[in-house]
Structure 1
Amino acid sequence: MPFAEQTAPPTRREQILAAAAELFARHGFHGVGINDIGAAVGISGPALYRHFRSKDAVLGEMLTSISELLLAGAQSRVRDAVDPEESIRALIGWQVDFALANPALITVQERDLGNLADADRQRVRALQRRYVEVWVTTIRRSRPEVGEPAARAAAHALFGLINSTPHSAHLDRGQMTDLLAAMAYAAVHSLT
């Protein structure tokens, strides 16, 4: 997956996706051309077509890949946790780490989801719904007294808090991680 933690140098395709994310976040999907993306990775715009069929395909793979990554990471963390409290802490930590490491992707996902081709949008939305369900189930296991509608609303509110990092990350990474995790954890435990 293009946005997973890597030990090997990124492939050209991964470089293109990362550069496109930065450009889309800064200028918006419609404000960026194929030539801009190519220039950002040191190739011509037309050479980009060896890797992607279109700019739409770049956005589609970008948002599908991060949705797959988020879902797989959440499922893994919940599966590996020993109890509901560890599960909720692991989910919060996962989302905080992802948001702080990928502010451009958070911005693009928030702003440019509507620019996806229909099939890509449906795939991303399906993955996002599954991701939300991991959170809803985990919140309810952690707080059994919380009903499903409240757990769902809480999950979305937590995403709003954590994914605000492109606009709110004014502390160093460690301090911001601690602050967001503490706020999110406190929010889960304030549910009744």
Structure 2
Amino acid sequence: MDRSRKILDTAAELFYEKGFHGTSVDELGTRAGLSGPALYRHFSGKDEILATLFTEAMDQLIDAVEPILDDPARDFERLVRHHVEFAARHRHLVNVTQREDRSLVDPWLRSVNRRRKEYVRAWEAAVGRCLPSATDAEIAVATQTCLGTIFSIAYWPTKVSRTAGLADLIVGLIDEGIDTLRR
């Protein structure tokens, strides 16, 4: 594993455990296996590390929102499944991106906010393809319900978030919820 990756993974763990402001550069460096000052060879500081974590997460999530299947319902199921698996696999990172967004500073804050809006619009488009007769308000509510459900996994007890067939369960629950708007 390269040093930058080690720093980012360690930062996600520490920011999860202690928060962004509760984590020192020295502690981050030590836990990543290098001195605090050596960390500056890879990143300009904690702000850039936090922004990089957000950016990497957004990259993976935005890529998955792009439609790839012709059937909107199957593509939506694929989208939900991917996001559930991402949230379960990267619980600490999801938790940090939800809790520590207030710690982002410019210029990264503007970029992350722009990407979040792009991400929500892409989700709304996916929901809209499944619900062609739904209103914009219904699509917005359905989208936020899906995202809230999926990303709440970051706060679940570990045992629950590792439930066998978790993605299938959540896909089924979300699909039942979406069905209420199809009627």
TM-score for both structures, normalised by structure 1: 0.88
Amino acid at match of 2:24: G
| One-letter identity of the residue aligned with 2:61 | L
2:25 to 19, 34, 43: 34
**Is the contact made by 2:10 and 2:31 (CA closer than 8 Å) also made in structure 1?**
yes
Q: Aligned residue for 1:64? A: 55
Are 2:176 and 1:182 equivalent residues in the alignment? no
The alpha-carbon deviation at position 62 of structure 1 amounts to 1.0
Deviation at 1:174, TM superposition (A): 2.8
Deviation at 1:153, TM superposition (A): 1.8
Residues 110-147 of structure 1, C-alpha deviation per residue, up to 9 Å, x if partnerless?
11111111221111111111111111111111111211
CA deviation profile, 1:11-45 (whole Å, cap 9, x unmatched): 21111111101110111100101111112211111
Q: Normalising by structure 2, what TM-score?
A: 0.92
Deviation of 1:173 (Å): 4.3
Uncovered stretches (5+) of structure 1, i.e. residues with no partner: 1-9
Shift of 1:97: 1.0
SS of structure 2 residue aligned to 1:29: coil
What is the Cα deviation at residue 167 of structure 1?
Answer: 2.1
> Structure 2 counterpart of 1:62, which letter?
L
Give the equivalent residue in structure 2 for 1:158: 146
Kept in 2: contact 1:24–1:108 (CA 8 A): yes
Distance 1:99 1:130 in 2: 19
Preserved contact between residue 95 and residue 162 of structure 1 (Cα < 8 Å): yes
Distance 2:126 2:154 in 1: 26
Deviant stretches of 4+, over 4 Å: none
Aligned to 1:119: 107
1:100 aligns with 2:88: yes
Q: Tell me, yes or no, if structure 1 residue 50 matches structure 2 residue 41.
A: yes
* Equivalent-residue separation in structure 1 for 2:78 and 2:89 (angstroms): 16
Q: 1: distance between equivalents of 2:153 and 2:65? A: 19
2:15 and 2:101 mapped to 1: Cα distance? Answer: 11
The amino acid that maps onto 1:135 is W
Corresponding letter in the other structure for 2:118: R
Contact 1:100-1:173 at 8 Å conserved across structures: no
Report percent identity of matched pairs: 29
Query: 2 CA distance for matches of 1:105 and 1:67?
Result: 11
Q: Identify unmatched segments of 5+ residues in structure 2.
A: none
